[in-house]
Amino acid sequence: MKIKIINGPNLNLLGRRDNHIYGKETLRDIETWLHSKVNSKDSVKWFQSNHEGQIIDEIHACIDSYDGIIINPGAFTHYSYAIRDAIESTKIPTVEVHLSDIHNREDFRKISVIKDVCIEQIFGHGKTGYLNAAKILFAYESKKRNI
CATH number at residue 70: 3.40.50.9100
Count of domains forming the chain? 1
- Domain extent for 54: 2-146
- What amino acid positions are annotated as catalytic residues? 22, 98
What is the chain's Cα-based Rg?
Answer: 14
Q: Find all residues with CB under 8 Å of 46, minimum gap 6, and list them.
A: 4, 5, 7, 27, 31
DSSP designation for 102: G
Sheet containing 2-7: give its strands across: 43-48, 2-7, 68-72, 94-98, 120-123
Per-10-residue mean pLDDT, the chain, length 147: 97 90 91 90 91 98 97 96 98 96 87 96 96 96 77
Q: Tell me the whole-structure pTM to 2 decimals.
A: 0.94
For the stretch 54-72, what's the b/e string if a residue is b when 16 or more beta carbons lie within 10 angstroms of its beta carbon? ebbebbeebeeebbbbbbb
